[in-house]
Structure 1
Amino acid sequence: MASQISFDLKSLEIFAAIVEAGGMTAAGQRLGITQSSVSQSLAGLEQSLHIQLLDRSQRPPMLTPWGRQFYQRATKLLDAARQVSHDFRRQEALTLKQVRIALVDSLATSVGRELLDVVKQRSANWSLVTGQSHRHAEALLSRKVDIIISDDAVANHPELYRHRIIREPFVMVVPKGFAGPTGSLRTLAGAGDFIRYSHGTVIGRSVEQQLQHWGITPPLRLQLDNSYAILSMVKAGVGWTLTTPLCLFQAGLLSDEVDFLPIPEGEFHRDLTLVAHGQELGTLPDQLSEDIKQVLLSRYLPILQQRAPWLANAIRMGKATD
């Protein structure tokens, strides 16, 4: 469909400057453009409107009756446009009208109430969804959400803003009082069933890649989509798993209902990262990142420190320096 608007804001600004400055030369000086550019803009505006706006036979040029009506309406449009520009240039100091956030279940479930409190402080209108991380990345790239907090940092898009919230180690989780071998994952895999995150999840793919790196291939028997279901099966004595402290916290299993141990094969971690579109949200991504880190420091880490100091000491907060 062809545009039904026969002018742009720049031509209106030039026309208003001619009227207010008293001529084309003065208007050009006011706007920092040449007199020739002013004249061409006015001619183009009159041609597109099919009316004469200024009577050039007089010095200085005078508004025609049509020009007077158009000038009154043009100034209202320009005032509105300037206000819009002013408001959005000040976006860093203003509460955003709307922000849409997607985040991993482990954060939403473990510190959801506190996280919502900080979001409400930063936005007048907000929405928050959870779900599988790969869907969050798709939603961000298709602009269905504005911010994601995810274990998928969408690394193939360097133009995106990123701020790591937390790095946490994976741990080996076994039933309470488990008497089987825990000296290595290979021997553990031979003594009990490995309860996997499904391959459709980011955390599941990360675990499988790491196991392959270590040359360990537990039989493919049990695959579940979420931490609560997986850890409930571990608690029931069905088998063992690899997961993170936040996932344990999410499932309420930092209360001595399962045993969790360092992984004998070596260090393995996941990062939860806040990802957003460039500078479109002003300072909001940085502010939210700092707010969420403070929530974790005050609400989550003290519990982990009390239950498993060795694990709390392995947590890294904030932007990557390693």
Structure 2
Amino acid sequence: MMSSRLPPFSGLTAFYAAVRHGTLTGAARELNVSQPAVSRRIAALEQDLGCRLFDRSHKPARLTQQGREMMRALRTGFGQIEAAAETIRRGNAKRVVTVTGPSGFVGFWLIPKLAELEAAFPEVTIRIISQEYGDPDRPGDISIRYGLASEAEPLARRILGDEVFPVASPHYLSRHASPPDLSKLTLLTMESARQHWHDWPSWCEAAGMRMPDGVRQLDFNSYAMLVNAALAGQGVCLCWSGLLDSFLSTGAMVRLDGPSARSVRGYFITRRDGLAANEEVMRIHDWIVAEATIQGG
């Protein structure tokens, strides 16, 4: 009978990290090695297995069928190890569940719900970390990111609605004609984050209208700053359905009459690999999904 042997562990960990992060750079940062070292480890693993795990003819590279099979096995194996280690580490201590997400989601959706969240899970300490665009430096037990669906995150679920529409403070709108003319308003933008977000030109195109020429714009590098400027009466911002309901319900902001747009981008929630079997993480994950579904439609 032939004896079985495990593939090189360094290759397995490099492959696992590369798939989770979506880049060799992210994997190298997690493993504290260079990017070429990660690439060499994955190549050695592929040589040991006798097959390609990534289809490199695409940019970015995609998992082959063998790569998907290996990732499923690693999620199960590493997940059991991770869950066991977590149980051993915490002993009888109170469980801490870390939730990470973009500043806008954290500040305007999650924080207003913290009292309800803590009441639902009194036995758990909730740790909130704000980070933009899926920053891998401090992965959460539960992570929310804004962007497109990703093949590298098969467990991710889209939350909140897909409608995008302009909002402003009543005080700001009171200084303009009704109904407001978009070309006469100040548009609050995040041009530095255009590749991740729905900016005004793309929103106008999706809404079936032309972007006004020469319109005044104010640029910010975070959605939280942008919304605070809108609340302060500095202009009009784009709102993701469900995200700013705490302001719309109180009248601190109002939705402008007129068109809206649908977007293929959205907020996606996922559980950290290996922690899917942890009951507390699963319950909090499902609580956020349910609350976002109620609000976002």
TM-score for both structures, normalised by structure 1: 0.48
Aligned-partner Cα distance in 1 for 2:153–2:236? 39
Go from structure 1 to structure 2 and tell me whether the alpha carbon gap of 1:119 and 1:211 turns closer, same or farther (over 3 Å shift).
Answer: farther
Listed as ranges, the matches of 1:67-78 within 5 Å are none
Q: Could you tell me which residue of structure 1 aligns to residue 259 of structure 2?
A: 264
Distance of 1:269 and 1:113 partners within structure 2? 31
What is the CA deviation profile of residues 278-315 of structure 1, one whole-angstrom value per residue up to 9, with x for unaligned ones?
A: 45431556433321244457xxx6xxxxxxxxxx6xx3
Structure 2 partner of 1:127 = 127
Equivalent residue, structure 1, for 2:186: 193
**Distance across 2 between alignment mates of 1:216 and 1:146:** 42
2:161 corresponds in structure 1 to 167
Counterpart CA distance in 1 for 2:169 and 2:82 is: 54
- For the structure 1 residues 229 and 243, does the alpha-carbon distance in structure 2 shift closer, same or farther, using more than 3 Å as the test? same
1:180 aligned residue? 177
Aligned to 1:242: 238
Paired residue for 1:152?
A: 147
Helix, strand or coil at the partner of 2:286:
helix
Q: In the superposition, relative to structure 1, how do residues 109 and 215 fare at CA in structure 2: closer, same or farther (>3 Å)?
A: same
Q: CA RMSD in A?
A: 4.2
Contact in 2 for aligned 1:163/1:286 (Cα 8 Å): no
Match of 1:103 among 101, 104, 107: 101
| Alignment-derived partner of residue 66 in structure 1 | none
Q: CA deviation at 1:220?
A: 6.2
Unaligned runs of 5+ in 2: 1-76, 91-95
1:215–1:95 CA distance, 2 compared to 1 (3 A) = farther
Contact 1:159 1:278 in 2 (8 A): no
Give the Cα–Cα distance (whole angstroms) in 1 for the partners of residues 254 and 122 of structure 2: 37
Spell out the pairing of 1:50-65 with structure 2 (5 A cutoff): none
Describe the shift of the 1:232–1:127 C-alpha distance in structure 2 as closer, same or farther (beyond 3 A).
closer
- Cα distance in 2, alignment partners of residues 173 and 216 from structure 1: 18
Work out the CA distance in 2 between the residues paired with 1:103 and 1:232.
Answer: 18
Q: CA 1:246–1:109 in 2, change beyond 3 Å: closer, same or farther?
A: farther
Identity %, equivalent residues: 13
Change over 3 Å in CA distance of 1:253–1:229 after alignment to 2:
farther
| The 10-residue stretch of structure 1 (252-261 or 263-272) with the greater mean CA deviation from structure 2 | 263-272
Q: How far apart are 1:148 and its partner, in Å?
A: 0.7
Q: Distance in 1 between matches of 2:264 and 2:238?
A: 11
> Which one has the bigger helix percentage?
1
Q: Is the 8 A contact 2:200 2:211 kept in 1?
A: no
AA aligned to 2:158 is R
Unmatched 5+ residue regions in structure 1? Answer: 1-84, 302-311, 317-322
Please tell me whether the aligned partners of residues 82 and 274 of structure 2 are also in contact (alpha carbons under 8 angstroms). no
Which of 126, 135, 138 is equivalent to 1:138? 135
> 1:198–1:223: 8 Å Cα contact kept in structure 2?
yes
Matched AA of 1:273: F
User: Does 1:224 find its partner at 2:224?
Assistant: no
Number of residue pairs the alignment of both structures matches: 203
Whichever of the two has the greater Rg, that structure is 1
Going from structure 1 to structure 2, the CA distance change for 1:144 and 1:282 (only over 3 Å counts) comes to: same
